Chain A
């Protein structure tokens, strides 16, 4: 707490140098009363603060900031008079906001914020952070909030922030924003600059803002304005189209990576043994539950490293599910290699068993996962295109899985054996390969891959006993479409199916997209049952 305060003080001094006189000090008691007041007052207070923000002393801003933060974080308690700042929500006592005295919070009420108040408070907090943030990162975060509600923030706030800013990059950003805010300024030169500034950071919102100016009288009368606006609008529109295109590619890629993760293990199992493993979805579910187990172990044993549990879960999920797969193979499937249709029913029974085992022992509710920063949130990359970390995680995960599996198949003795058995079981057996053992290991590998898919899905989907059932039809179609026994075929098929789904969805809706893609695959397979990449073999 001390360090930021000192920085605040330093900043205040700096501010004092640039802006010598304050218009009026903040009425702290009234402000506190507003924040503890009814909905209207809770909006009035923060809005007033933002309006006066350009002129308030740093001290006042810091005071307001403390109160606003406390209110947003449910640490503001409202007794009959004044306001209390609590250290944590529902604490029994707190410091009086004005006097600093410790008072009990028992009889006080904790206000609940509606969306309107929330928006006003968010803007006010952003303003305070922008003006008094101790480091560029805090000020940049404040700026991001202010930018989202630029219409409600007076120019004075931005001017003051710009003048006080020491970080060159941030200063330029604030300048740009201040310029952009002047879209409806009476000064034609500033307007032109504003158009350029808005066009410099393209987005759907920017496009809408510029498009609205087409109705402005100046558009008809002022050729320079018209030219600037048209140029700016064209630039933004182009960027938005590109951004949307990128989003489509990204969405397709992320869907494809999920499909691929779900189908990769199947491709190996089906390609090698001709076994339709209907429990593959449940193996994915088990992988996700193994991940949960790892998380809980971290929580107990190494809470400090909790953020890394997803990585620790990779070998655990792989190993655990591979083991389950090997057990299933050893107990059940090994007796059924000559009867693939019966192995299909057997794996269905296994899937039924696993779902209900998990349901009875752990329960039906969604599991609670801690989401480390690298799998939550996202970053706007270009125009409206946001890269969400959880999807990127899945894409990277799928790519790594692909690489690793190819490595195993192409570069290890097991991989060689697997490929030999896949291509000609009888010949491999004649050559003395232990085909039964290879089957078992390959089944373990395929199951382990499903376990990995479970890890990758944790940040994306809800994890519950039934989560696996949704994958089975899709992933089989991907495997068969790609061509049995061809991992690259599976990849291409996953990309194709994912891309087609994402492309069709905006046109005809999600249901129709799925139907169209599946019907397409069915028709294709009936013309070419061996799929895209399977090698024609002698019967």
Chain B
């Protein structure tokens, strides 16, 4: 990474002298992959670990002899949670470093910022997060699930006899596109099931909002109205998640009264909380750490070993969905490149059709030629006393992703 940046940014500072400073691309025996994950700023705690996962995956592949006879070289950077900087660094990686693919972005806004760059340069961006869908660029591989193939099954579960037979819904989200899109699609879905509009409420809070007293009061009063079991669909993000959970528990509402489906909730959000009073609340992802199977055991062990070996500044025993998705991304790219026998983006893209990869979640990931989405399984997790999630339910197979929701 020092190579990349020193070379280029000295150039920036030295203005016109810059071209002389750019050395020719690296030797021909490696192929470069670029990472766009922040290790400083607001996203650091989450994104930072993905840099290491990508390296780990690349190391594994290199250990098996690399791709098409070449070793993978991973370039990382720090866009510092500053959205325009993602585009800036991405542009540089594509134009100067000629990376074969980019792996990066957590928030939708950073992806939107990089999107024009990959499209203009015909690059490939592997995006490891679940997101709002309704986008289908040929230059982005959407490794995680759009709402229609992940959130709807979870809501279905809660509405069904195995769940709580939910009839009424209180949606609380951070005020931006992802929660609003999810809620819009949910409303469309409920309408299609004949559920009246009076059965739901929708509230949005600003980013970093923490004073949830009034909202929890409202949830309580909403739940006490007649009309059937109420649930909370929680799409707040960041520090609002633990703050909401804490207030919810402190006001004495338990999961058996009003369960919360926290769509962005991961283990890290339970840090610092007494989960004894939160047991039973739900989340839903394409991977949970508690997933059964040898492949997951191996991945967890590999990660722990990697953390220790490389002195990675993140927890050795916490693995969250986006980490696995980043790991899947590298492997999918390597498979496609091997299948194409080339690193050229158009060739690699053609090779996506029919690709499959057995990932740590236990499902077999598949891609079709129709779009750049990946079929993933669905897990519903349930908060346990140990600040983790138990697998409460998982889909029988990996549903076909639906980029554009039919419900809104």
* Chain A positions near chain B (C-beta within 8 angstroms): 39, 74, 112-116, 118-119, 122, 148, 203-205, 207-208, 211-212, 244, 247-248, 250-251, 254-255, 356, 359, 363-369, 371, 376-378, 380, 384, 386, 388-391, 460-464, 466-467, 470, 501-502, 505-506, 509-511, 514
Contact = CB atoms under 8 A, between A and B. Distances in A.
Nearest to A122: B256
Contacts of B40: 356, 359
Contact of B214 (A119, A251, A369): A251
A530 B277 CA distance: 47
B320 interface: no
Given A115-B163, A148-B257, A378-B252, 4 more contacts: A112-B391, A113-B280, A470-B208, A506-B218
Contacts of A365: 45, 268, 271, 315
Given A506-B218, A509-B203, A366 B211 contact: no
25 contacts: A113-B382, A114-B162, A114-B392, A115-B256, A115-B282, A116-B165, A119-B164, A205-B224, A208-B225, A248-B214, A251-B211, A364-B44, A377-B277, A386-B252, A388-B247, A460-B246, A461-B210, A462-B239, A462-B243, A466-B42, A506-B218, A509-B203, A509-B205, A510-B206, A511-B204
A118 B255 contact: yes
B385 interface: yes
Given A112-B392, A384-B217, A511-B206, A208 B239 contact: no
A204 B221 contact: yes
Contacts of A501: 211
A39 B226 contact: no
Contacts of B48: 364
B234 to A, nearest CB: 15
A506 B201 CA distance: 13
Contacts of A114: 162-163, 382, 392-393
B278 to A, nearest CB: 11
A124 to B, nearest CB: 12
A115 B247 CA distance: 20
A356 B158 CA distance: 42
A366 B268 contact: yes
A119 B163 CA distance: 11
A116 B164 CA distance: 6
A467 B385 CA distance: 26
Size bracket, chain B contacts: 35 or more
Nearest to B209: A510
Contacts of B277: 376-377
Given A115-B256, A377-B250, A462-B272, A384 B204 contact: no
Contact of B221 (A369, A380, A384, A509): A384
Nearest to B392: A114
Contacts of A113: 280, 382
Given A376-B274, A462-B242, A119 B206 contact: no
A112 B382 contact: yes
A279 to B, nearest CB: 18
B272 A511 contact: no
Interface string B220-242: 11001110000000000001001
Nearest to A369: B272
| Chain A CB within 10 A, most for which of B44, B271, B392 | B271
A386 B164 contact: no
B280 A366 contact: no
Contacts, number: 152
A208 B226 CA distance: 6
Given A205-B224, A366-B268, A506-B214, A389 B44 contact: no
A428 B169 CA distance: 63
A115 B164 contact: yes
B408 to A, nearest CB: 21
Interface in B249-294: 249-252, 255-257, 259, 268, 271-272, 274, 277, 279-280, 282
Given A462-B239, A462-B272, A509-B204, A376 B250 contact: yes
B288 to A, nearest CB: 12
Contacts of A115: 158, 163-164, 255-256, 259, 280, 282, 382
A250 B105 CA distance: 41
Interface of B: 40, 42, 44-45, 48, 158, 161-165, 175, 203-206, 208-211, 213-215, 217-218, 220-221, 224-226, 239, 242-243, 246-247, 249-252, 255-257, 259, 268, 271-272, 274, 277, 279-280, 282, 313, 315, 382, 384-385, 390-393
B224 to A, nearest CB: 3
Q: Is the interface of A mostly helix, strand, loop or mixed?
A: helix
Contacts of A510: 203-206, 209, 211, 214-215
Contacts of B259: 115
B225 A204 contact: yes
A260 B213 CA distance: 18
A40 to B, nearest CB: 9
A454 to B, nearest CB: 14
B202 to A, nearest CB: 10
B268 A390 contact: no
A377 B252 contact: yes
A539 B257 CA distance: 62
Given A115-B163, A148-B257, A377-B252, A371 B214 contact: no
A39 B161 CA distance: 10
Contacts of A363: 45, 313
A208 B248 CA distance: 21
A156 B242 CA distance: 41
A514 B243 contact: no
Nearest to A247: B217
A463 B272 contact: yes
A5 B302 CA distance: 49
A380 B253 CA distance: 11
A514 B250 contact: no
Contact of A116 (B163, B217, B239, B313): B163
Contacts of B44: 359, 364
A254 B205 contact: no
B272 A368 contact: yes
B45 to A, nearest CB: 4
B209 A386 contact: no
Nearest to A248: B214
B274 A251 contact: no
A380 B224 CA distance: 15
A391 B257 CA distance: 22
A533 B271 CA distance: 42
Nearest to A515: B206
A378 B221 contact: no
B205 A511 contact: yes
A470 to B, nearest CB: 6
Given A112-B390, A114-B163, A377-B252, A204 B224 contact: yes
Given A364-B45, A511-B204, A203 B163 contact: no
B218 A388 contact: no
Nearest to A380: B252
Contacts of B161: 116
Given A510-B205, A511-B175, A371 B274 contact: yes
Nearest to B270: A366
B240 to A, nearest CB: 9
A391 B250 CA distance: 10
Contacts of B256: 115, 118-119, 122
A364 B249 CA distance: 24
Nearest to B271: A366
B250 A505 contact: no
A463 B45 CA distance: 13
Nearest to B239: A462
A204 B220 contact: yes
A255 B282 CA distance: 29
Contacts of A208: 224-226
B157 to A, nearest CB: 9
Contacts of B214: 248, 251, 502, 505-506, 510
Nearest to A254: B213
A390 B251 CA distance: 10
Contact of B224 (A207, A251, A255, A467): A207
